[in-house]
Amino acid sequence: MRGPSPFWVVKCPDCSTEQTVFSRPATVVNCGVCGATLATPTGGLAKLRGELVRSLTG
């Protein structure tokens, strides 16, 4: 399925690190620095816990 935003830059709510995550992840995405949950899979677009900074289009 094509979409305009396959990847998102998300800011960690705990340590403010910005991390690129897939917008439709199959597994929970954790912050690479502090381990906080950034995105939870839903079967479609991820449910974000962190702040969406911007979208990256291919």
**Looking at 4-12, 21-29, 40-48, 50-58, which segment touches Zn ion (CB under 5 A)?**
4-12
Residue 33 interacts with Zn ion (CB under 5 A): yes or no? yes
> What is 31-58 written as a DSSP string?
-TTT--EEEE--SSSPEESSEEEEEE--
> Which token pair is 57?
């289009």
Nearer to Zn ion among residue 16 and residue 55 (C-beta):
16
Residue 39 interacts with Zn ion (CB under 5 A): yes or no? no
Helix (H, G, I), strand (E, B) or coil at 11: strand
Q: Which residues contact Zn ion (rule: CB under 5 A)?
A: 12, 14-15, 17, 31, 33-34, 36
